[in-house]
Each structure stands twice: as structure tokens, then as C-alpha cells.
Structure 1
Amino acid sequence: MAFVSLTRLRIRSIRFLPRFVVHTLASLRQVKKAPGFLVGALLPDRSWTFWTLTAWESQESMRAYIVSGSHKEAMRHLLEWCDEASVAHWDQPDSTLPAWLEADRRMRESGRPSKVLHPSPHHADLSYRTPRVTGGGTIHRA
């Protein structure tokens, strides 16, 4: 059994992008070594939108990761940097990650918006554009 976490973040201004990238790279280094991390994927979408999809041994291992280290530091900024943010979680039989369009379907059906200080009109109801699913990459354990 694997616990899957899906996030979608849209950066509201290009001025936040350089710092977002720095925090993303630090969080990537952290996740690759995180206890319980199995596999992940990143998808850069249009309009400074970024998706993450990760599989974990348990919900507890994922939660331990998000509340520590570089990821915890990055999360402090997302309220201000993002105008759209959402998350979805589910259990599945194995750690095989779904295709991005399947992940998008799951986000729309069972995801929830995260708190942001400057929400776009699409934030609360997850009525964003279908993601562009090319150009993503896989994250493997270190």
C-alpha cells in the first residue's frame, strides 16, 4: 500500500519565481532522502504553475517530511507567493504514480484548495485549465 500526495501551486507573480525555485531545489534534495519516500514526479505547467506527485510508505512519513527542513521553510512563503494552491491525497495498492491527466482528475474530484492570501477566481472551486502534461520529470530516492 502506498500513500500518494498531489499538489498544485500557481505562483502569482514572476517576481516570486526565483525564490520559489531556490526553495524547490532545497525541498527536492530533502525529499530524496526522506524516510518513507518511494518515488515522485514534478510537472511545470503553464503560467508559473507547478505540480508535485509523490508516493510514500505512509501518510505519517509524508507528514513528517512536510513539517520539517527545507519543505517547512518553503511552506511559510506559499500564502503570499501563490494565488492558487491545492492538494489531494489517496491510498493505492502500489507506488506506481498515475499519469498527469489522471492526477488532474483526482485533484478536481477529491482535492481541496489550500489557504492563500491573494486567491485567483479559480482557486476555491479548482476551475483551473487542464495541465500541459509535457516536460515533467521523475524524482528518485538518493
Structure 2
Amino acid sequence: MPALPWTVPNPPPRDAEVHVFASRFETRSLWGAVRFLARTPAVWRQAGRAPGAYGAALKAQPLRRTFWTLSAWESADALKAFARSGAHRPASRQLAAQMRDVTFATWQTSGDRLPVSWAEAERRLR
């Protein structure tokens, strides 16, 4: 699973202000990368049903133990509700000890600028 393409569970209004979230995770070991991948399908399904989710994507380099996520939300509160519930909550807690490096970035954009490019996400994560 090298990547999960941009998926749109709920199209945003074109003129809506959108909360974008990007993350980069590097695991301490290949075992940590395997554990990350094992939890991905359940979290991906949750994102596809999450209220306020406007889009999500995942890029993975498991042999390099590195993963990126990119998502767009109706609001910061919608993102927080997603992160604190469903499959995401236990996955993030169980994987915390596996992480070597974690970086997050958030910013606002308009709905008509989705999907955000990976280049833009990576620039903001630097």
C-alpha cells in the first residue's frame, strides 16, 4: 500500500473555508511501520464516514518507515472529533511508542483549492 489517493467523502461548498491538516510520521523500526500499516484500513474507513471530512489521502514509504497524511475538514473541531474517536483514537495511542519523529501542519484554504498537492503539504511540514 504505497498510497491511498485523495478521497472525497463530503464535497465542500466551493466558497467554503477549509481546515487542512498534514502529518508526517517516521517509525523507529520496520515493525513500527508494519503496525502503522495494519491500522490504516480501519482509520481510512473512519475518515470516509467522518462528519465534516472533505478529503483525505495517505502516502507511504514503509521500507523507509515514513508515512504522510493529508486531509481537509469543515473545521478544526471536526478534525478533533475524528482524531478523538473511532479507530483513530486507539491507533494513535498504540502507535505513539513506535514513532521516532512526528510533524504536523495545519492551514486554511478554500474549498475550490482542493485537493491540496503533496508538494504543498511537504513544504508546510518542513
State whether TM-score is above 0.5.
yes
Structure 1, residues 82-105: CA drift from partner, whole Å, max 9, x if none?
A: 101110111111160222121111
TM-score with structure 1 setting the length? 0.71
- 1:31 aligns to what? 47
**In 2: Cα distance, 1:41 partner to 1:13 partner:** 23
Structure 1: gaps (5+ residues): 109-142
Residues 53 and 97 of structure 1 are in contact (CA less than 8 Å); yes or no, is this contact kept in structure 2? no
TM-score with structure 2 setting the length? 0.79
Residues 7 and 53 of structure 1 are in contact (CA less than 8 Å); yes or no, is this contact kept in structure 2? yes
Structure number with higher relative contact order (C-alpha < 8 Å, ≥ 6 residues apart): 2
Identity %: 36
Relative to its length, the structure with more strand (as a share) is 2
Structure 1, residues 46-88: CA drift from partner, whole Å, max 9, x if none?
A: 6110100000111111100000111000111232111011101
Amino acid at match of 1:20: F
Structure 2: gaps (5+ residues): 1-16
- Please, which of 60, 67, 83 is the counterpart of residue 50 of structure 1? 67
- 1:115 aligns to what? none
Residues 88 and 107 of structure 1 are in contact (CA less than 8 Å); yes or no, is this contact kept in structure 2? yes
